[in-house]
Amino acid sequence: MKILVCISHVPDTTSKINFTENDTKFDTNGVQYVINPNDEFGLTRAMWFKEKQGASVDVVNVGGKETEPTLRKALAIGADNAIRVDVEAKDGFQVAKELAKVVKDGGYDLVIAGRESIDYNGGMVPGMLAELTDANFVTNCISLEIDGSNAKAVREIDGGKETVSTSLPLVIAGQKGLVEENDLRIPNMRGIMTARTKPLNVVEAASAETETSSLSFEKPAPKGAVKLVDADNLDELVNLLHNEAKVI
């Protein structure tokens, strides 16, 4: 079984976010980047298939040279090969079309993507990728078992969970639950050294057109000042909640 894991290169959640050029461009100065958490759950599940069922695991990213350290980390975790599509990722449709070409050229049986990336939270790429590659699709996936060409998946739905049966080729949009957080892998020294010798192939973009563009960015409004009320002064607390905060 050939598995392709889609890896997004996203800012660490602890990074301070700023914008430049009249809030039209994201300021990358001082920002630390990581593997998108939803993608990391998928990569860990792919490693299970590699170890238990002998699957081969490739990882792919659409982006510039600056994304290669993130791909190298995925290799250090245990992926066999990495692919970087050499073009700036500008919108979900463009990324899906670039990934579709990689999937078709590589003949992958299973494509694992994150439900969404934590930077733009579009949640569009996995579904569009399944449509473009004529593959079955399961979103919000929290469990996946493969038996030959058959698959059983569990996905979150409103108010519960749904178990579905399908077949390969398959695209899933994974999230927490596909593996647990304590199952995530930290690259060890051997993995880091081995990753330096594993293939990282840079491929030309398919020149997919973008459908959207970002006009401007805006930070959330800052939090208001906090008022502290003595624990014994319940009358003052009730007064503030009623007359100032107007929540009661």
Q: Which domains does the chain have, with CATH numbers?
A: 2-218 (3.40.50.620)
Which pLDDT band holds residue 120 (cuts at 50, 70, 90)? confident
* pTM summary value: 0.87
Can you give the pLDDT at residue 39? 97
Q: Worst-scoring range by mean pLDDT, 6-15, 118-127, 215-224, 234-243?
A: 215-224
Q: Which residues contact 168 (CB under 8 A, 6 or more apart)?
A: 1, 109, 110, 136, 146, 149, 150, 151
Tokens at 222, concatenated: 């800052």
- In DSSP terms, 133 is beta-bridged to none
Burial grade of 102 (CB within 10 A; 0-12, 13-18, 19 or more): buried
Going by their DSSP bridges, the two strands 81-85 and 56-62 should be labelled as parallel
- In DSSP terms, 59 is beta-bridged to 5, 82
Can you give the pLDDT at residue 71? 97
Q: What is the pLDDT of residues 200-226, one digit of tens each?
A: 999 999 877 888 888 999 988 888 788
Averaged confidence pLDDT in the chain? 93
Q: Which residues contact 112 (CB under 8 A, 6 or more apart)?
A: 3, 4, 5, 6, 42, 43, 45, 46, 171, 172, 174
- Tell whether the model's pLDDT for residue 121 goes beyond 90: no
pLDDT average, residue stretch 154-175: 96
